[in-house]
Amino acid sequence: MLDPQLTNRRWLRELSGSVRGWLGLAGAAGILAGLCTIVQMGLLAWLVDQLVTHASAPAALGWAFFGLIGVLVLRAVAQWVQERASAEASLRIRARVRGELLEHLAALGPVRLGDRHSAGLGQQLVEQVEALDGYFARFLPQMRLTTVLPLVILAVVASLDWLAAALLLLAAPLIPLFMALVGMGAERLNREQFVAVTR
Confidence of residue 114 (pLDDT cuts 50, 70, 90): low
DSSP state of 71: H
Whole-number pLDDT of residue 77: 97
Whole-number pLDDT of residue 88: 92
In terms of Cβ atoms closer than 10 Å to its own Cβ (0-12, 13-18, 19+), residue 33 is buried
For the stretch 3-37, pLDDT in tens is 667 787 787 788 888 888 898 899 999 999 999 99
Please state, in angstroms and rounded to a whole number, the distance separating the CA atoms of residues 133 and 131: 5
Mean pLDDT of 96-119: 71
For the stretch 129-173, pLDDT in tens is 777 788 888 888 888 888 888 888 888 889 988 898 888 888 877
Confidence of residue 116 (pLDDT cuts 50, 70, 90): low
Distances (CA, A) of 154 to 140, 146, 159: 22, 12, 8
More confident residue, 116 or 136: 136
Confidence of residue 100 (pLDDT cuts 50, 70, 90): confident
